[in-house]
Structure 1
């Protein structure tokens, strides 16, 4: 979306003359600003303000809602499974192109853990974030309405696997929300809830450095959050969580945030890949050794020109980390290089020195490391909000999110679970089924 947004500006003349067409293909009609998913799950931001409608911000592009299933770069053709093909039985759409930009991002990386596919919840989309919010509040309702201690303990146990940004921020925001919500339950208190963070390595939030990572562990444990380092999830069959440290306990909530992998379309494109499955790219964001193919973001392995050179000539050069800081900046260079290539101009290499990281740990709590300086508590939380507010696209979204933050500071949190949104026809189907039964009887 960012690349297409810039191409609209740089190719304004060609678009007006009709000599260029920009086609954007995505399974969803919007772009999700993922750093705000934890706040959307906690209710600090409305879900519709975490997403950016593609057709509104890309009025000069052709937006196709569908998923690319095959890319034949030799023939310059892409096969797209559209909504019409899925719901109306229409055939797949084939689109011819001159220049290809692959920026599909990443998907959750799962492991063959018994039971994970049955009860695991991801945290990559706005639907998953809102579904998780509804699920957590529903567990409080279950615990409040039962006298069975086994059901109650399982409902009030929340397990998060993965100590990166997604796992830590999601857990911290939701624990903060649940701690606030239980004040309205007469028989559930904060001490009844069990929040567990499972991380396979010896540290969490490696992006903010070991000192701030250690501070985060202490901060979470001070909130009675059970942080298990150097521990792996071995099984979660029948809602019984088994960890590598030998512990075993029931849980009705298991959130999987243990890493990501490139989108499957990258492998299906038959373009050059690295050992980790990312597209092998040059510093100019071109797919290495392939003409008329470009890439950016999580799926692209772009050489990091600001990193120290490899120790030996045979050693591989460091690549840019798959995060939003690099992805958003890469799109500017990519759009300019693509425009230059079309006009016969000079293309430039991407080079951006990593400036630091910020992370939220709930309302008024956070950690940050920016330009080598370390921050924690309220200053870090404020920097987290200010940075991401500046990066979320369009003035419309910035204004709406800022307004919601102001209103959230003036009024109490909303703690309503709208789980029925996930199956809106359930009530009608029940009524229709009951009606047929009555007529028969």
Structure 2
């Protein structure tokens, strides 16, 4: 194996074991292990486990250390610090020097990259390497991505995180530690990874969160270290997560949803109003957009695909919110399949059915909070009848 290729695997292991071993020692060990039979990734995984590291952070296609770069490489990943940075005229491009423990290299980033800061450590993905005026250069194009990387990715000691209560979190906070309980959560695939979206709560308040490469469940007590984006939205991954058992998750009141835009939530309330646009809607079979009088804004007049649709107001006794549900969610809440709902629509009986089966009843509703012109609304993903619990209702009242 070429020295340049070996370095990629050495630094992949170093990041997973938090740089507990000398790189030269690791290089000799990996070179010996790779000479035998077996999959490189499996060999690295066993070695990381031996050192007490986290094998989940290993990569099958690891980033390139700067010392292993060669002109002609394309669609690769580099983790490095921005040692120097300058902006071109009208912010059309940026250029400077990247560095990691193995060396330095020039770079140019075409287009506007406002997130780049001198001294910052980043993961540069889908970049290429070229020779320019006799020197090697890393090139970022329109398909490249840049994400912040932790200091330990380059073998540096990370600063101690700052402990904060949820009520004091502000967009722009980085390396903050929060201890709380998961009030709501749902996990979904995100490319080759998974992401859990939900709400984290402590005694001072609640905040929306995104957890990468983690499957969290409602009621988990956790300690997390992450950053806060606009929203506010707390973002963290498996490197900044510790589970601390389980507990009783707090209820989420509708009055709290203003501060949880983008979060997956679970709330309870009574349907106090059904809007006229409820019933049967038609979506474009090509792009899934809602049709207006049989016309798609992109594909023109098409034969629409019918879906059951419910627009209603949910009230928990303290506040109310608009909720929008479609498809199977509405069919299950109504207790009727789409075929029967279409028959009721054709006979003019559908709204009577909606009023008799939905209006005035209590439901547990789960979904994502979105911002709307008239305030937040819930895009419903789950909806089921909820038995009346007087104690729960009293807890939500002011």
TM category, shorter: under 0.3
Choose between structure 1 and 2: higher helix proportion: 1
Structure number with the higher strand fraction is: 2
Length-normalised TM-score, structure 2 = 0.22
- Of structures 1 and 2, the larger Rg is shown by 2
Higher relative contact order (CA 8 A, sep 6+): 1
